[in-house]
């Protein structure tokens, strides 16, 4: 899935003349941090049995102080406050809406981590990224190149392989059942000495 998203990004570099490599580096670091924090949060929740609200509170408090330090170091804090006061609707208003929906999304992500583990959570969030790319083509006019198609197929194959690795027995049973129906083969199963069922013709 990650390889497919990388090829999506490389395809963007062909159709966008203002492609910025610095942005790719920042996004890549964000993906690495996203993978790390998912496993870290899973460990905390399973070790200390904390709730989603506590995880969100301490994560955002830590992030708030980091951003505050960055604003103070770059001397951007007071100019940012001035800009926000001059444009209250697109800053305070949109920021409030973003916070509400962001909290709901984070709560869902933490529930996934708590119930199913970090791997399933990362799979779901990666699928969300792929859907976001698809919607961007639907809602906005963007040039289409062939690289988008086969990189999307790589993402889909990655999703399938991840799901298959967790449900091999169920998938194999469904594939065998479909194959038998497709070729009109019916049979009865008989246990073998190796423990693997054998199909005997009726």
pLDDT < 50: residue spans in the chain: 187-189, 192, 194, 196-197, 199-202
Q: Scanning the structure block, which residue is given the tokens 């103070």?
A: 72
Quick one: pLDDT at residue 201?
Answer: 47
Helices (runs of H) and strands (runs of E) counted in the chain: 9, 2
pTM: 0.50
Residue of 44, 25, 21, 22 lying closest to 33 (CA atoms): 25
Contacts of 15 (CB under 8 A, 6+ apart): 142, 143, 145
pLDDT attached to residue 65: 92
30, 34, 35, 40 alpha-carbon torsion, rounded to 10°: 130
> What is the per-residue pLDDT for 24?
73
What are the extents of the domains in the chain? 2-166
Q: What is the pLDDT of residue 200?
A: 46
Contacts of 175 (CB under 8 A, 6+ apart): none
């Amino acid at each position: 899935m990650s390889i497919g998203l990388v090829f999506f990004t490389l395809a963007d570099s062909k159709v966008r003349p203002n492609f910025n490599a610095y942005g790719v580096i920042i996004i890549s670091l964000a993906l690495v941090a996203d993978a790390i924090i998912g496993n870290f949060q899973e460990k905390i929740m399973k070790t200390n049995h904390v709730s989603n609200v506590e995880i969100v509170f301490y994560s955002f408090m830590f992030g708030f102080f980091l951003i505050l330090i960055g604003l103070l170091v770059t001397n951007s804090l007071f100019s940012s406050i001035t800009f926000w006061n001059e444009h209250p609707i697109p800053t305070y208003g949109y920021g409030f809406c973003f916070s509400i929906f962001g909290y709901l999304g984070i709560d869902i992500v933490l529930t996934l981590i708590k119930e199913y583990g970090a791997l399933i959570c990362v799979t779901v969030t990666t699928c969300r990224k792929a859907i976001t790319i698809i919607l961007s083509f639907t809602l906005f006019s963007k040039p289409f190149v062939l690289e988008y198609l086969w990189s999307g197929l790589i993402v889909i194959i990655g999703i399938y392989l991840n799901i298959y690795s967790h449900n091999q027995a169920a998938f194999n049973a469904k594939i065998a059942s479909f194959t038998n129906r497709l070729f009109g083969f019916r049979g009865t199963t008989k246990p073998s000495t190796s423990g693997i069922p054998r199909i005997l013709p009726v």
